[in-house]
């Protein structure tokens, strides 16, 4: 990788930072955050402004350009990549290291007195604006919103904002109609005495209207906002997508409806002026609800006294609890996904010894098998296909420069998933196609013990996911080992593979309590730098647990694995398992045989079926 030469671009940016055509008054610094106007984790090419200006295209990073300097803040995952991708116009600010200043502190240290710091108010979340603005103000500077995005001003060949056709999901997939979702949302609004709700996250718009899109790779969402009143529904969306008869029919745009269910379709770009109009008409006590992570631009459009901000919206919370149709869809998707992986692993077992399978070929083959399955839409994230030392790079994605050939001498880690019309998958298996060393088996078995400890955990209703994180680490900790990432994230139902508001992590963020119907991943790991990586990941469904007693009538919960792909028994040191753990593995494999075996049979995939049977032979533990 050679760095992007940014001298000319930075010169142009510094010009527009002073140009009255773009800014009311010159700005002495300009901030380029990672996100889009919806605070999405995955963004469209047209929103990759930070990558455009700097060359650094990792998933997290913030660029700040002043008249003299250009600096990039990113975290430990990307120190090396950022250093390789950026030329020496850029200073790398390594977040998490002791001596690295915060963006605000750095700005204060380099800016001339009374400076103006510009930022696109649509890109910066309101909570971040508040924090930054406070520090700058107390040092005599000002954070100012710059309406026109200054990167867009110099990005002559900026790709168009995608505007792909929509997919409508009927009740068999969603379980609840968009009308009923609106009714439920209005009930929540009434409970909180809120009159308006602004939907800003793309997956929340998609979920609310039972629509899907493909504007962003891996995430089946589309660019839109919605503003829900007690008697009105406004959907802000561009293009001719609303001309599609299926969409018009789905949204009942041409039907005579009660006025409170009549959807007014408006241009995507009119959200701000419409929100300002709504705000202008508010009577006292008519509050407007939005996420505290919504953009500064939209938040500011609502006078402070009328704002009702929460970390999680009622849509985010409702979306996390899957109904019976969604759960059944997720089950179906995971069965198909397991079929594809059985095919893949059977194929790898034969091909790897020949020395012709690279990480990229394996990833492509995984996609090929998945694409043969019904209702396959696309992958749910970039496949992590890594062997040997590449497996220790947690967010690895094979590229030609790093592409390694799979062999019988190295561990292979595959973290992959897909979007099917009935559900989203995300599964990691770690395999050895030769003979693993005792140490590799030992590490794998500790990770497996952690995986089982979470999967089999029983815990009271209302427990937050972060309280389960240590269960996943206990076996590793006992031997002085650990892994430096969380244990699980929420998973959407044919939606984003990472979604809030629940998760399993040592980081104590404001996670919502787990409840039956939520779906999370369970993915402990162990990574030995320069050597190998192990991760075992299932997607699991929160279900009620039967317990002997029932303290304070609270009820208990546990997990049911939706992922049904064999865990390579060759990698397990059975002597390190308890009988209970051994039984868990055998029960799990028995279920894989029954459920996936039947589907392989149905699809006539007999060789993969034989592989499945072989891989699910019960473990036997010496007493």
- The footprint of a copy of itself (CB under 8 A) covers 457-460, 466-471, 474, 476-482, 506, 508, 545, 547-552, 554, 556, 578
Smallest separation, CB 418 to a copy of itself (Å) = 33
Q: Nearer Cβ to a copy of itself, position 389 or 417?
A: 389
Cα separation, 522 vs 535, in Å, equals: 10
Smallest separation, CB 304 to a copy of itself (Å) = 10
Q: Nearer Cβ to a copy of itself, position 556 or 569?
A: 556
For the record, the structure tokens of 378 come out as: 């696309």
Evaluate whether 551 touches 460 at the Cβ level (below 8 Å): yes
Cα separation, 60 vs 51, in Å, equals: 10
Cα separation, 451 vs 523, in Å, equals: 7
Smallest separation, CB 34 to a copy of itself (Å) = 27
Smallest separation, CB 453 to a copy of itself (Å) = 9
Cα separation, 343 vs 348, in Å, equals: 9
Q: Nearer Cβ to a copy of itself, position 237 or 557?
A: 557
Q: Nearer Cβ to a copy of itself, position 194 or 495?
A: 194
Smallest separation, CB 440 to a copy of itself (Å) = 13
Smallest separation, CB 121 to a copy of itself (Å) = 25
Smallest separation, CB 560 to a copy of itself (Å) = 17
Cα separation, 106 vs 104, in Å, equals: 5
Q: Nearer Cβ to a copy of itself, position 7 or 578?
A: 578
Which H or E element spans position 179? helix 178-191
Q: Nearer Cβ to a copy of itself, position 134 or 606?
A: 134
The answer, yes or no, to whether the previous bond of 355 is cis (omega within 30 of 0) is no
Q: 449, 508, 453: which is closest to 479 by C-alpha?
A: 449
Evaluate whether 321 touches 517 at the Cβ level (below 8 Å): yes
Q: Nearer Cβ to a copy of itself, position 259 or 551?
A: 551
Q: Nearer Cβ to a copy of itself, position 263 or 504?
A: 504
DSSP for 56-111, please give it. Answer: --SSS-EEEEESS-EEEEE-GGGHHHHHHHB-TT-EEEETTSTTPPPHHHHHHHHS
Question: Between the CA of residue 211 and those of 169, 171, 177, 207, 242, what are the distances in Å?
Answer: 6, 11, 11, 7, 12
Q: Nearer Cβ to a copy of itself, position 477 or 543?
A: 477
Smallest separation, CB 567 to a copy of itself (Å) = 23
Q: 319, 519, 503: which is closest to 424 by C-alpha?
A: 519
Cα separation, 596 vs 339, in Å, equals: 6
- Helix %, strand %, coil % for the chain, to 5? 40, 20, 40
Which H or E element spans position 368? helix 359-371
DSSP-derived letter for residue 623 is -
Q: Which residues contact 124 (CB under 8 A, 6 or more apart)?
A: 31, 33, 132, 295, 296
Smallest separation, CB 480 to a copy of itself (Å) = 3
Q: Nearer Cβ to a copy of itself, position 439 or 601?
A: 439
Phi, psi of 533 (to 5 degrees): -135, 145
Q: Nearer Cβ to a copy of itself, position 410 or 442?
A: 442
Question: Between the CA of residue 444 and those of 333, 474, 568, what are the distances in Å?
Answer: 27, 14, 10
Smallest separation, CB 477 to a copy of itself (Å) = 5
Cα separation, 486 vs 476, in Å, equals: 14
Smallest separation, CB 454 to a copy of itself (Å) = 11
Residue with the two structure tokens 């990229």: 360
Q: Nearer Cβ to a copy of itself, position 25 or 478?
A: 478
Smallest separation, CB 466 to a copy of itself (Å) = 7
């Amino acid at each position: 990788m050679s760095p992007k030469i940014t001298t000319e671009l930075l010169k142009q940016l510094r010009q527009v930072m002073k140009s009255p055509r773009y800014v009311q008054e010159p700005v002495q610094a300009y901030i380029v955050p990672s996100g889009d106007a919806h605070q999405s984790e995955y963004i469209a090419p047209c929103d990759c402004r930070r990558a455009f200006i700097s060359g650094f295209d990792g998933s997290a990073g913030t660029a700040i350009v002043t008249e003299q300097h250009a600096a990039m803040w990113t975290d430990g995952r990307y120190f090396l990549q950022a250093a390789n991708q950026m030329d020496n116009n850029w200073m790398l600010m390594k977040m998490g290291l002791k001596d690295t200043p915060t963006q605000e502190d750095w700005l204060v240290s380099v800016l001339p007195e009374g400076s103006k710091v510009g930022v696109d108010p649509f890109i910066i979340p309101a909570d971040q604006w508040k924090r930054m603005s406070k520090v700058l103000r107390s040092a005599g500077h000002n954070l100012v919103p710059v309406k026109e995005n200054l990167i867009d001003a110099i990005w002559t060949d900026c790709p168009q904002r995608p505007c792909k056709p929509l997919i409508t999901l009927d009740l068999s997939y969603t379980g609840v109609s968009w009308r009923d979702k609106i009714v439920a949302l209005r009930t929540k609004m009434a409970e909180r005495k809120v009159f308006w709700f602004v939907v800003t996250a793309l997956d929340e718009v998609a979920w609310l209207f039972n629509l899907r899109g493909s504007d962003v790779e891996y995430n089946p969402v589309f660019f839109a906002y919605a503003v829900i009143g007690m008697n009105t529904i406004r959907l802000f969306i561009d293009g001719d997508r609303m001309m599609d008869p299926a969409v018009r029919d789905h949204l009942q745009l041409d039907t005579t409806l009660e006025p409170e269910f009549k959807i007014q379709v408006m241009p995507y770009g009119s959200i701000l002026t419409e929100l300002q109009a709504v705000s202008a008409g508010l009577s006292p006590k008519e509050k407007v609800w939005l996420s505290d992570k919504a953009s500064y631009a939209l938040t500011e459009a609502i006078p402070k006294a009328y704002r009702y901000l929460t970390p999680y919206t009622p849509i985010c919370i409702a979306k996390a609890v899957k109904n019976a149709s969604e759960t059944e869809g997720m089950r179906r998707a995971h069965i198909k996904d397991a079929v594809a992986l059985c095919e893949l692993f059977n194929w790898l077992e034969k091909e790897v010894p020949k020395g012709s399978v690279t990480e990229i070929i394996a990833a492509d083959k995984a996609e090929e098998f998945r694409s043969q399955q019904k209702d396959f839409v696309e992958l749910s994230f970039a496949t992590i296909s890594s062997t040997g030392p590449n497996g220790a790079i947690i967010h690895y994605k094979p590229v030609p420069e790093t592409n390694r050939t799979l062999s019988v001498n190295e561990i292979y880690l595959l973290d992959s998933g897909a979007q099917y019309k009935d559900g989203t998958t995300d599964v990691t298996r770690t395999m050895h196609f030769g003979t693993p060393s005792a140490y590799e088996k030992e590490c794998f078995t500790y990770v497996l013990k952690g995986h089982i400890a979470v999967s089999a955990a029983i815990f009271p209703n209302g427990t937050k996911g972060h309280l389960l994180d240590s269960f996943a680490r206990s076996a590793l900790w006992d031997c002085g080992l650990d892994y430096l990432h969380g244990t699980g994230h929420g998973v959407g139902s044919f939606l984003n593979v990472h979604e809030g508001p629940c998760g399993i992590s040592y980081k104590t963020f404001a996670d919502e309590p787990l409840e039956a119907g939520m779906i999370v991943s369970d993915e402990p790991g162990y990574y030995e730098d320069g050597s190998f990586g192990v991760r075992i990941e299932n997607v699991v469904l929160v279900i009620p647990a039967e317990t002997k007693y029932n303290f304070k009538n609270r009820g208990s919960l546990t997990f049911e694995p939706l992922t049904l792909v064999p865990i390579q028994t060759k990698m397990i040191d059975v002597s390190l398992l308890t009988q209970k753990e051994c039984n868990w593995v055998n029960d799990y494999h028995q279920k894989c045989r029954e459920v996936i075996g039947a589907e392989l049979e149905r699809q006539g995939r007999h060789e993969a079926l034989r592989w499945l049977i072989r891989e699910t032979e019960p473990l036997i533990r010496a007493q």
